[in-house]
Amino acid sequence: MATGPVITACIIKPNYIQYLTKCAKMAQQIGNGGELILAYSIRRMEKEDIGQVTEIDREAFPSQWPPANYRREMQNKTAHYIVLCDNNKTIDVPPATPPKRSINILSLMMPWTKQKAPEKIPLPHVTRQYIVGFSGIWMIADEAHLTNIAVREQYRGKGLGELLVIATIDLALKFEASFMTLEVRASNLAAQSLYQKYGFTQMGVRRGYYLDNREDAIIMSTESIGSEPFQRQVSELREALKKKLPDVKST
């Protein structure tokens, strides 16, 4: 058992890549006196994450139609996604690149003959971080439109949704967004309450917006996310969230 400090989670700062690097250096500096554990980390989504993100999306939004296509989103230059990882767990996933086909030399030398189709050479699975949640924005001019935010069911109720909201605000600031917008189902009062907590207010209604059941969408927007009052509010909520996140034991 470690005798040194334990960090329960990594709260993402506006420049979160440098922040995570700093956390890693802190872990190296502790040495034999203890072990620094970052229970969760947030990074940019990669193509190898598509399978896990799609799985979380289907679990969180089973009736959504049409379903989100994250492979296409990765090619969308206005789309920017982040993933929340459990640093104590990994998962083996298929490689992002399709398997290569073996080359049939005989068919190359004698193309007029019928040869057996070349076999696919399977690529080994790769070990990846276990993703427990994700979120994304579309950057349109100076507007950051929050497209999706979701957490795996077994990880809900731990403050991780709030962690993603903060990280998404930080992401929007990185791309110099002036304000943020989103749509949320009229029946999803819990999500509306969370967004209101982080400075989103109702701006209107889109009638019959959701195609699966023609449910209305509530349009929500923030004030300037770079303003001093907004940043002060997020900073206070960030500090409060640090105390709420679950403890992680050192092994």
Catalytic residue among 40, 73, 155, 183: 183
What are the two backbone dihedrals, phi and then psi, of residue 43, each rounded to the nearest 5 degrees? -145, 175
CB 132 within 8 A of CB 60: no
Q: Does 195 participate in catalysis according to the annotation? A: yes
Please give the distance of CA 29 from its chain centroid, rounded to a whole number: 29
User: 């598509």: which residue's tokens?
Assistant: 50
Residues 71 and 50: beta-carbon distance below 8 Å: yes
| Residues ≥6 apart with Cβ < 8 Å to 197 | 162, 237
Give me 9's structure tokens. Answer: 């989670």
Q: Identify the residue whose tokens are 């890693």.
A: 24
Question: Beta partners for 136?
Answer: 81, 148
CB-CB contact of 45 with 84 (8 Å): no
Which entry of 16, 195, 198, 210 is annotated as an active-site residue?
195
Output helix, strand, coil percentages for the chain, rounded to the nearest 5: 35, 30, 35
Q: Does 183 qualify as catalytic in the annotation?
A: yes
For the annotated catalytic residues, the residue numbers are: 183, 195
